[in-house]
A = this chain, B = another copy of it.
């Protein structure tokens, strides 16, 4: 697929009027061809108006028709697997096998949502039939189901150039719900974005859907993103990225004349608590597992375990020593962008000034310390008292670091947990006796995170029906939703009730004969 560097405005391509930018190789720092063009505000306006127009038709097509579109996109991703993975590897330096796997995950996400909308039960149809003889007044016939919100603005993330980007879970779930999508592509992987955008755009034509069902805008700055969130035609926002950028979008969405739902997934320290039983099983293996988890993807996972609570004991000391050794012996990591690398250094220096110890490998002779995208692993150590006095120590740093918080004994974990802000995950390592003895810890952590994990590292995120990739602020803008898994579709739908409508005027989901055979509630009970 030849890269043109131009945005997708419905079925057309953008102009060369906007400012130009390029991707950079994280391994060499050199620019990569071709040159990309930022969308103009006129192009954005056209894409948004096309989306509003497309919504009228796209929101009316059947779940089966939407599923066909999603399955065609999935097939498109798979048929461009190598091209996508190779370009993403150039632009992100993430390992090729990981990227090849990410193409599969991306395709599977579209298929998951295809099965959800084919099945159709996700609309949560509820029927309270008329009670004409009720006293003192008859009850009317009431039938409710979920309907799509309208055009959704999706922001591609830097760290998953496929699964959380142009064709990521946000796009898949919004399209599944019946919402047209306008993606603001992440400028760190514009070539990967263009290939993905073309796959999704070609599927629009192939399925004869309205042109405005999908658009994708390039921009190296923030102008297009801000204008997108504040455009009157946009009805919801989905974003994965930094706390600073996410909060700016939240503020823009909530200060519109008409505020709109805005789901931002932003920042998580993913606290991990080590209970005594876990260390009895072998401190070295646990340290190796943790090292693998916090350096996975060069530490650029939303679910990286960034705060480790460890009660003092001889085995805890062994665990720390093993972790120190792993960090000291580690090779340099390559980060996604120069900006991320600079921020990793800045945040690390700021944290180092506050903690009791910092471990890091010495720069090797062959290492070019001026290479802007490179970073060394870091292990910070502090005490619980320091963390409670300086809760900002637990703030996420994006990169291959973690912070061990030394606690006096496991019962200190409760105070530690209570001091936490919101996170995507919270993890407990231990045995079943530990769990039984720490029910209150679990209850507190449940208030702090969207996913609680026992004896596994949080960096694995399954895309299933029960996954929750969400949590209280600052993990996300709204803890009532998730951005991963089939529940993610509920971000983009709203209930609509039809009162006293004749059967023929109802959508099939609500007709008395239930022609789609979906699960429904009648007077609150399954039919």
A1 in the interface (beta carbon within 8 A): no
Instruction: Knowing that A139-B464, A454-B502, A468-B496 touch, tell me 7 more A-B residue pairs with CB under 8 angstroms.
Output: A142-B467, A144-B466, A235-B472, A258-B422, A260-B473, A442-B505, A468-B497
Identify A487's interface contact among B116, B144, B149, B422, CB under 8 A. Answer: B144
Number of identical protomers: 2
Please tell me if the beta carbons of A452 and B496 are within 8 angstroms of each other in the complex: yes
Q: Is the pair A500, B453 in contact by a Cβ cutoff of 8 Å?
A: yes
Closest to A502 in B: B432
Interface membership of A504, Cβ < 8 A: yes
- Residues in B with CB closer than 8 Å to A254 are 250-251, 254-255, 259
Shortest distance between the CB of A347 and any CB in chain B (Å): 20
- Is residue A115 within 8 Å, beta carbon to beta carbon, of the partner chain? yes
Flag whether A478 is at the interface (Cβ < 8 A): yes
| Main SS at interface, chain A | mixed
| A422 CB → nearest B CB, Å | 8
What is the interface of chain A, defined by CB distance below 8 A to chain B? Answer: 55-56, 59-60, 115-116, 119, 126-128, 137, 139-140, 142-144, 147, 149-150, 235, 250-251, 254-255, 258-261, 421-422, 432, 435-436, 439, 442-444, 446-447, 449-456, 460, 462, 464-468, 470, 472-474, 477-480, 482, 486-487, 490-491, 493-502, 504-505, 519, 521, 523-524, 526
Q: Give the docked Cα–Cα distance between A477 and B255 (Å).
A: 12
A115 — which chain B residues lie within 8 A by C-beta? 524
List, sorted by A's number, 11 A–B pairs whose CB atoms are closer than 8 Å: A126-B487, A128-B465, A140-B456, A140-B462, A250-B259, A259-B477, A435-B505, A452-B501, A454-B501, A455-B500, A464-B524
Q: Which of B59, B443, B468, B523 contacts A144 (CB 8 A)?
A: B468
- Contact partners of A502 in chain B: CB under 8 A: 432, 435, 454
**Measured CA separation A494–B475 after assembly (Å):** 13
Instruction: Name A128's contact: one of B143, B251, B435, B466 (CB within 8 Å).
Output: B466
Q: Kindly list chain B residues whose C-beta atoms are within 8 Å of the C-beta of A477.
A: 259
Instruction: Give the one of A140, A446, A467, A497 with max B CB within 10 A.
Output: A497
Bound Cα distance A50, B127 (Å): 40
Task: Write the chain B residue with the least CB distance to A522.
Answer: B465
**Beta-carbon contact of A450 and B494 below 8 Å:** yes
Indicate if the CB atoms of A466 and B142 lie closer than 8 Å: yes
Q: Is A446 within 8 A of B496, CB to CB?
A: yes
In the complex, the answer to whether A519 meets B524 with C-beta atoms within 8 Å is no
Partner of A462, one of B139, B259, B464: B139
Among A116, A139, A261, A452, max chain B CB count under 10 A is at A452
Residues of B contacting A495 in the complex (Cβ-Cβ under 8 angstroms): 450, 468, 470, 480, 482, 487
| B residues less than 8 Å from A482 (CB atoms) | 495
Q: Nearest residue in B to A116 (C-beta to C-beta)?
A: B524
